[in-house]
Structure formats: C-alpha cells, structure tokens
Structure 1
Amino acid sequence: MKIRVFVSLKDGVLDPQGKAVGHALETLGFKGLGEVRVNRVVELEVPTDNAADALAQGEAMARALLANEVIEDFSVEVAE
C-alpha cells in the first residue's frame, strides 16, 4: 500500500530555503508574494493492505527518521 508523509517546518521556525525561493520568484517578476515555505513529501510503499497499519507504519517512520519533531510537523495519508 502506498502512503505519503508530509513534512513541514513548525510555525515560527525560519525557512531559509523558502526565503531563497521567494526571492528568486520576485526576481523573475512574481511580485507581491507573501511568505514562501518549502515542505517535502515522502512517498512510500509499505508491506500491508490494511490502511490503519499503513498509517501507523508511516507515523513510526516519520518519528524515527523522516521528521525532526523539534522543528517539524508531519502528517501521513494513504495514497490513491
């Protein structure tokens, strides 16, 4: 079963990559942008057909490796 783990910086944590992207977009003529934040999505194939088990595995992987819970939030969903 495929799952997606969405990882984003918590509110209040500086996002230098987002700042760089926002600056580059303004340089390209995209004016008036607000805050730009860069997040990541990790797609995984987990060895189960049970959605609850797949979500639990995704959460365990996020807590163990994929997200730094001090500065990042994450969510997990079953992919279509």
Structure 2
Amino acid sequence: MPFDPDKDKVLKKWQCPETGLVVTINRYDQGEAKVQIGPRILKKKDGSDRAPVKAGRLTIEDILWLYDTMDDIKDELTDLQRPD
C-alpha cells in the first residue's frame, strides 16, 4: 500500500523560538502517535520563515528547550495513546 500524505496528520506542534527546532506528534492513518524531532524553521532577515531544513545536530539551546518542553510532549503523547 503506497504512502498517502492525506493520512499523515500532525496532532501537536512545538517550535523553539531561539533555534527554530520543531517537534511534532504525528499519526499516520489509524496508527500509533509518534514524536518527530525536526525540521528546523529558520527566519529570514525580514522576519518571515525560510523553507524548513533538516534539524541536524542539536545545540545546547535545542537540548535545554527540549528538556523544558519534554513534560508537555510526554503528557500530550500519553493522552493520544489508545488503550489496547
């Protein structure tokens, strides 16, 4: 069965204001909700968003922001899990 982009849903999104790192919770069709780290959305000089780029290696700023956001991510992911 081929990949269908219409079945790929972003359920929740966080973005680090300093580094542009994006973390999302996604679900494909009726599958399990999963966390994705990246891409990174940087700003142009005029303040508008550039095209997304790979997250690449994480800086200490990324790690500290991820650490501060982790409880919210964990709570959201837990709420989205379906009982067996």
TM-score surpassing 0.5? no
Structure showing greater radius of gyration is 1
Bigger relative CO (Cα 8 Å, ≥ 6 apart) = 1
Q: Which has the higher helix share?
A: 1
